[in-house]
Structure 1
Amino acid sequence: MRSTARGNASCIPVSWEQSRNRSFLLGLLPALAVLLVITLAPALALFVTSLTPLSLVDPTVSFNFSDPLVNFRQLMQDERFLDSAITQCKLSLLTVAMQLTAGTSLALLLNGKSSVLQYARSVFLIPMLIPPVVVALIWKIIYSPDISPLHRLLEFSGLTLEALTTNPHTALWAIAVADTWQWFPFTLLMILASLHMLPADPVEAARMDGASRIQVLRYIVLPHVRPVLVVCGLFRLIDSFKAFPLIYILTDGGPGNVTEVSNYYGFTQAFNFSYWGYGSAIAVLILAGVFFLSLIVTQFTRNSHDPIKNT
C-alpha cells in the first residue's frame, strides 16, 4: 500500500507540470499567430518575390519561376550594388567605432554617484528617444548653410564651412556623425551598467599598490567592460543597416552614389524603377547578413555567460 501511494504521489507533479506547460502554450498561441502574420508571412512573400522578375514595367513576366536565381546572379555582376555594399561596410564600421568610442568615454566620465552626474546621464539619453526621422530633420537643419546655427556660429568667428552633405569627401562622415549622435547613448547606458557592477576591491588594491588612474583603467576597468563592449558593437553593427531615414532626408544617396548603401539601392530599384523582384533580392541578401550577425551576437552572449567555458 505504501509503495502504491508513493507511486501515485510521484505521478501528481508530472501531470501538473504537463498541464501547466499546456496552459502556457495556449496562452502563447495568440502572440505566436500575430508574430506569424506580421513577420514570417511578409518574409516568405519577400523571398518568393526575389525568385521572380516581378516588375510593374513588364507585368507579363511578373511571376515567372523558370530561372529563380536570375536576380541574385545579376546582383553579383551589378557594380552599383557592389559599391553600395562597400559603402554600407564603410558606414557601419565608421558609426560603430564612433559610437563605441563616444559612449565608452562619456560612461567613464559620468560614472559616479553625484546628483549632477545623474542629471547629465539623463540628458545624454535624450537623442536615443527621438524618432529617426526627427533626428534626420534636426541634422538637415544643422548641415544646411542657409539656416544652420553651426554655420552662423562659424561665420561669426570668421570661419567658413561648405555644406557637408553635398561634398563627396564629407557626406558619408556627415551621416555617420548624425547616426552616432542618436545611438551612442546605447553604448553609454550599457557601459555605465557594467561599471556599476565593477567590484571595488580590485580597484582599491591597485591604488594601494601605487597604480595610476591610467593603469587602473587599462588593467582593471577595460578588461571588465570588454565583453559588454563587444556585445554593444555587434548590436550596433546590426542596427547600422537601418540608417535609411538619415540617408533619405540628408543626402538622397548622393552626391552621386557616395552615400548609397545597399538598402537604399534596393529602395530605388523597387520604388523608383518598379523592379520589385530585383529589389526583393537585395532585401533578402541584407536580411541574410543581419541574420548571420544575429547568430554571432547570440553565440557570443551565450559563451560570455557560460561559467564552464569561462573557467
Structure 2
Amino acid sequence: MSAVLQPQPHAHPALHAPLARPAGWARERRLAFAGGLAPSLVVLLLITLLPALALFTASLTPLSLTDPAGTFRFDDPLVNYRQLLSDERFTDSVGTQLKLSAASVALQLGVGLGLALLLNGRSKALGAMRTVFLIPMVLPPIVVALIWKIMFTPDVSPLHRALEAVGAPVRSLIANPDTALWAIALADTWQWFPFTMLMVLAALQMIPEEPLEAARLDGANRWQLLRFIVFAHIRPVLVVCGLFRLIDSFKAFPLIYVLTDGGPGTVTEVSNYYGFIQAFNFSYWGYGSAIAMVILAGVFVLSWGVGRLGWNRSSHDAAH
C-alpha cells in the first residue's frame, strides 16, 4: 500500500510577526513613570527645595532676632553678600575650609586605597579585618569627636601617656595653632577612610582576570599591573569617592565644635562654623543664611569641576 501523504500544517504568518504595540503604549508608559516618581518628587520638594528657598529668601533680608520685623524687608537684598566680600574673617574661613577639605580628602583616598589593596582577598581573616575597619564609619559623628577629644587631651590620652613613657612627650595637637587643623583632618580621616576602602574593594573584586593574566605573561611586574590595569579600572570609583568625600568635608562641624570650638583663635574656624557663630551666637540669621548660600554654591561648583576633570580623564584613558 502506498503511503498517503498528509499535507503539512503551516503556521499562520501572524504567529511569527512581532506583536504590534498599542498606539497609546508610549503615553501609558510615560504616565506610569510619572506616577511612580511623583511621590518621591513631592517628598524631595518638601524636604530640600522648600528649606533651600527659605534659606535663600532669608539671605536677602537683614533678619535678626533683635529685629524680627526685618524678616520680610527686601529694600537692599544684596547687603549681606556685599558685606561678605569685605569680611576678612569670612575669607579666612574659606581658606581654612579649603585646606581642611584638601588634607582630609587626600588622606582618606590614600589610606582607603592602600588598605583596599592590602585587604583584597577572599580569606576569612581578611574578611574579619575588613569588618573591623568599617567600625569608625558607622559611629555617630559626635561619638567620633569625643573619642578624639580624649586622644588629643594629654592628661587622659593613652597615646600621650605612651609617648611620655618612651621619653617623647607631645603637646596637645588641638591646643597648638600649628597642628589643630591637621588634628581635625586626622580625626575626619579615621572616621571616613572606610568609605573609600569599601568602594575600592568592590571595584577591585570586579576586575576581570584576563587582562591581568595577559600582562603577567608579557612580563609585567606588580607595579606595572597596578599602574596600567588595576588603577585604570578603579579610577572612576576613586573619582566618585573623591566627590562624595569632598562634599562631606564641608560638614565637619561636630569635630570642630567638640575638639576646638573654632580655635585656637580662629585657625580651625571653617565657613560653616563661622556661619553658625553669626546665626546662633550673634543672632544675625540673614547674614548666616548668606554664608550658607555661598557655601552651597561653592560646593556645587567645586564638585562639578572635580567631577568633570575626573570623568574626562577616565574617558580619555579609556579611548586610548
Change (3 A) 1:270 1:170: same
The alpha-carbon distance between structure 1 residues 11 and 220, as it changes in their structure 2 partners (threshold 3 A), is closer
With normalisation by structure 2, the TM-score equals 0.87
Q: Which runs of 5+ in 2 are unaligned?
A: 1-13
Correspondence for 1:272: 281
Aligned residue in 2 for 1:289: 298
- 1:234 partner amino acid: L
User: In 2, Cα distance between the equivalents of 1:301 and 1:11?
Assistant: 44
Per-residue CA deviations over 1:154-195 (Å, capped at 9, x if unaligned) read 222222111110100110011000000111111111111111
Q: Which residue of structure 2 lines up, in the alignment, with residue 198 of structure 1?
A: 207
What is the match of residue 244 of structure 1? 253
Inter-CA distance 207–31: structure 2 relative to 1 (3 Å threshold): closer
Question: What TM-score do you get using the length of structure 1 for normalisation?
Answer: 0.89
CA drift of 1:298 comes to 6.4
**Which residue in 2 is equivalent to 1:66?**
75
CA pair 11-204 structure 1, distance change in 2 beyond 3 A: closer
Contact 1:231 1:297 in 2 (8 A): no
> 1:51 and 2:60 equivalent?
yes
Q: Which residue of 2 aligns with 1:150?
A: 159
The aligned residue for residue 109 of structure 1 is 118
How far 1:297 sits from its partner (Å)? 6.5
- Render the CA deviation track for 1:271-298: whole Å, top value 9, x for unaligned: 0000000000000011112222454476
Supply the distance in 1 between the matched residues of 2:150 and 2:81 (Cα, whole angstroms). 39
What is the alpha-carbon distance in structure 2 between the residues aligned to residue 31 and residue 55 of structure 1?
34
**Residue 211 in 1 paired to residue 229 in 2?**
no
2 CA distance for matches of 1:246 and 1:78? 25
Contact 1:136 1:246 in 2 (8 A): yes
Q: Which stretch of the first structure deviates more once superposed, 141-150 or 84-93?
A: 141-150
Q: How does 1:1-311 map to 2 (within 5 A)?
A: 13-296=22-305, 310=319
> Do 1:304 and 1:310's aligned partners in 2 also have CA atoms closer than 8 Å?
no
Q: Relative to structure 2, which stretch is displaced further, 124-133 or 217-226?
A: 217-226
Measured in 1, the distance between the counterparts of 2:162 and 2:286 equals 48
Percent identity, aligned pairs only, is: 66
| Partner secondary structure for residue 184 of structure 1 | helix
Residues 224-280 of structure 1 deviation map (CA, whole Å, 9 limit, x = unaligned): 222221221122111110101100111000000000000000000000000000000
After the TM superposition, which of the residue ranges 91-100 and 292-301 deviates more from structure 2?
292-301
Q: Which residue type is aligned with residue 22 of structure 1?
A: L
Alpha carbons of structure 1 residues 299 and 21: separation in structure 2 relative to 1, 3 Å? farther
| Structure 1 residues 12 and 213, CA gap change in structure 2 (3 angstroms) | closer
Aligned partners of 1:255 and 1:15: how far apart in 2? 68
Is the CA contact 2:150–2:157 (under 8 Å) kept in the aligned structure 1? yes
> Structure 1 residues 62 and 157 mapped into 2: Cα distance closer, same or farther (>3 Å)?
same
Higher Rg: 2
Structure 1 stretches of at least 4 aligned residues deviating more than 6 Å after TM superposition: 300-307
Q: Which has the higher helix share?
A: 1
For 1:270 and 1:75, the matched residues in 2 are separated by 14
Bigger shift: 39-48 or 291-300?
A: 291-300
Give the SS at the match of 1:13: coil
| CA distance in 1 between partners of 2:227 and 2:33 (Å) | 48
Query: How much has 1:306 moved relative to structure 2?
Result: 7.7
Structure 1: gaps of 5 or more residues: none
Distance 1:221 1:207 in 2: 13
Note the alpha carbon deviations across 1:100-146, whole angstroms, 9 max, x for none.
Answer: 11011111111112111111111111111111111111111111112
